[in-house]
Amino acid sequence: MAMLKLVIGNKNYSSWSMRPWLALRVSDIPFDEVFIPLYTDDPADKQRILGFSRAGKVPALIDGDLVIWDSLAIIEYLAEKFPGKKLWPEDSASRAHARSISAEMHSGFAALRNECGMNLHRPIGAVALSEDARANVARIQEIWSECHRRYGGPFLFGAFGAADAMYAPVVHRFRTYAIEVAPAARHYYDAMQSLAAFQQWTGEGLAETLVIERFETV
């Protein structure tokens, strides 16, 4: 069986790449990592991405002749291919809940994304957030708190799963932009930062020297 390949962008900046990478790493699913730097002046980098996925974006998962792109689609594929890893909760109601909050993260929270871009190198410090971004922060912490009450932690549905992969980059945003985390949501925030795979991604992101100027303005 051919080894899975995960095509990712810069670990310092690419929150979408982080999600399936964490799902693979925490689930102990072997894969080859293919790094392509994003937003460079070298057209060959863009062509390399297009060589893997015609969508022209990362991440992309390569499984033999099959290409899966988009973080959530990749995670869904992994859940089906490796059912024993239990990326989604086994109980149907909990699984529906997990999929709902994952989809909410996938399509929502635009203000927070725009105002607090992922940048591990950025010195920690607060920025003035819009009303919409503050509402995003409150909603995310509401999700974390509710899941802790219902499922007991340490992660959103007990053990680490697909929903955690989707929410992991927000932990970086909260930390980088010194966003206050309420006590009821702190359990999750702390658990994620203690996760070995989270720490590995963070360390490797901090070790990168490539700078994307458009992401250095916040």
Q: Where are the domains of the chain?
A: 4-85, 92-202
pLDDT at 214 over 90: no
Write the CATH number of the domain with boundaries 4-85: 3.40.30.10
pLDDT value of residue 140 = 98
Distance of alpha carbon 58 from alpha carbon 38, whole angstroms: 9
pLDDT value of residue 1 = 62
> Of 213, 189, 204, which is closest to residue 8 (Cα–Cα)?
204
Q: The domain at 92-202 falls in which architecture?
A: Up-down Bundle (1.20)
Which tens digits make up the pLDDT trace of 172-198? 999 999 999 999 999 999 999 999 999
> Of 8, 30, 210, 19, which is closest to residue 121 (Cα–Cα)?
210
pLDDT at 218 over 60: no
Query: Do you find a cis peptide bond into 83, omega within 30 degrees of 0?
Result: no
Which tens digits make up the pLDDT trace of 118-146? 999 999 999 999 999 999 999 999 999 99
pLDDT value of residue 216 = 61
Distance of alpha carbon 125 from alpha carbon 127, whole angstroms: 7
Looking from the CA of 152 toward its CB, the CA atoms found within 13 Å total: 2
Identical fold, 4-85 and 92-202? no
